[in-house]
Amino acid sequence: MLIYLSFFSIVMYISGLLSFCLNRKHFLMMLLSLEFIVLSLYLNLFILLSYYSNEYYFSMIFLTMSVCEGALGLSILVAMIRTHGNDYFNSFNLLW
Protein backbone atom coordinates (compact mmCIF):
# COMPACT_ATOMS: atom_id res chain seq x y z
CA MET A 1 0.00 0.00 0.00
CA LEU A 2 2.85 2.40 0.76
CA ILE A 3 4.34 1.72 -2.67
CA TYR A 4 1.16 2.92 -4.35
CA LEU A 5 1.04 6.04 -2.20
CA SER A 6 4.67 6.89 -2.88
CA PHE A 7 4.10 6.36 -6.62
CA PHE A 8 1.07 8.62 -6.39
CA SER A 9 3.09 11.33 -4.65
CA ILE A 10 5.81 11.09 -7.31
CA VAL A 11 3.19 11.46 -10.05
CA MET A 12 1.76 14.46 -8.17
CA TYR A 13 5.22 16.02 -7.96
CA ILE A 14 5.94 15.53 -11.67
CA SER A 15 2.54 16.90 -12.71
CA GLY A 16 3.09 19.93 -10.45
CA LEU A 17 6.47 20.57 -12.06
CA LEU A 18 4.95 20.19 -15.51
CA SER A 19 2.14 22.63 -14.76
CA PHE A 20 4.68 25.05 -13.23
CA CYS A 21 6.73 24.99 -16.43
CA LEU A 22 3.75 25.32 -18.75
CA ASN A 23 1.95 28.13 -16.86
CA ARG A 24 4.85 30.47 -16.32
CA LYS A 25 3.08 33.54 -17.71
CA HIS A 26 0.54 33.88 -14.89
CA PHE A 27 1.80 34.44 -11.36
CA LEU A 28 -1.32 32.95 -9.73
CA MET A 29 -1.02 29.71 -11.68
CA MET A 30 2.64 29.49 -10.71
CA LEU A 31 1.71 29.90 -7.05
CA LEU A 32 -0.94 27.18 -7.31
CA SER A 33 1.55 24.85 -8.97
CA LEU A 34 4.09 25.51 -6.21
CA GLU A 35 1.48 24.74 -3.56
CA PHE A 36 0.65 21.50 -5.38
CA ILE A 37 4.35 20.57 -5.37
CA VAL A 38 4.58 21.34 -1.65
CA LEU A 39 1.49 19.22 -1.01
CA SER A 40 3.03 16.28 -2.86
CA LEU A 41 6.27 16.69 -0.90
CA TYR A 42 4.26 16.77 2.33
CA LEU A 43 2.51 13.54 1.35
CA ASN A 44 5.85 11.95 0.54
CA LEU A 45 7.30 13.10 3.87
CA PHE A 46 4.29 11.74 5.74
CA ILE A 47 4.66 8.37 3.99
CA LEU A 48 8.38 8.27 4.77
CA LEU A 49 7.87 9.11 8.43
CA SER A 50 5.09 6.54 8.82
CA TYR A 51 7.21 3.89 7.11
CA TYR A 52 10.02 4.29 9.62
CA SER A 53 7.59 4.74 12.56
CA ASN A 54 8.98 8.13 13.51
CA GLU A 55 7.25 11.07 15.10
CA TYR A 56 5.33 13.52 12.94
CA TYR A 57 6.78 16.65 14.54
CA PHE A 58 8.91 17.51 11.51
CA SER A 59 5.87 17.24 9.24
CA MET A 60 4.12 19.91 11.31
CA ILE A 61 7.15 22.19 10.96
CA PHE A 62 7.17 21.56 7.19
CA LEU A 63 3.45 22.32 6.98
CA THR A 64 3.93 25.56 8.93
CA MET A 65 6.74 26.69 6.64
CA SER A 66 4.69 25.87 3.54
CA VAL A 67 1.78 27.95 4.86
CA CYS A 68 4.18 30.86 5.43
CA GLU A 69 5.47 30.44 1.88
CA GLY A 70 1.94 30.50 0.51
CA ALA A 71 1.04 33.64 2.47
CA LEU A 72 4.18 35.38 1.23
CA GLY A 73 3.36 34.44 -2.37
CA LEU A 74 -0.19 35.77 -2.04
CA SER A 75 1.05 39.04 -0.58
CA ILE A 76 3.44 39.45 -3.52
CA LEU A 77 0.54 38.68 -5.88
CA VAL A 78 -1.68 41.32 -4.26
CA ALA A 79 1.11 43.90 -4.41
CA MET A 80 1.75 43.07 -8.07
CA ILE A 81 -1.93 43.39 -8.99
CA ARG A 82 -2.22 46.71 -7.16
CA THR A 83 0.76 48.22 -8.92
CA HIS A 84 0.42 46.71 -12.42
CA GLY A 85 -3.25 45.74 -12.70
CA ASN A 86 -2.79 42.08 -13.66
CA ASP A 87 -0.64 39.04 -12.94
CA TYR A 88 1.05 38.66 -16.32
CA PHE A 89 4.81 38.54 -16.25
CA ASN A 90 4.95 40.12 -19.70
CA SER A 91 3.55 43.42 -18.42
CA PHE A 92 5.86 43.39 -15.40
CA ASN A 93 8.93 45.34 -16.39
CA LEU A 94 11.94 44.70 -14.18
CA LEU A 95 14.05 47.54 -15.56
CA TRP A 96 12.17 50.58 -14.24
What are the 10-residue block averages of pLDDT along the chain, 96 residues in total? 86 94 86 93 90 85 92 89 76 58
The structural domain count of the chain equals 1
Residue 31 lies in a domain: yes
* pLDDT on residue 56: 83
Q: What is the CATH number of the domain that holds 49?
A: 1.10.287.3510
- Rounded CA gap, 17 and 11, in Å? 10
Full residue range of the structural domain in which residue 15 is found: 2-84
* pLDDT on residue 51: 85
Residue 91 lies in a domain: no
Closest CA to 29 of 21, 54, 45, 58: 21
Residue 19 lies in a domain: yes
* pLDDT on residue 90: 67
Residue 94 lies in a domain: no
pTM of the model: 0.83
Residue 67 lies in a domain: yes
Residue 96 lies in a domain: no
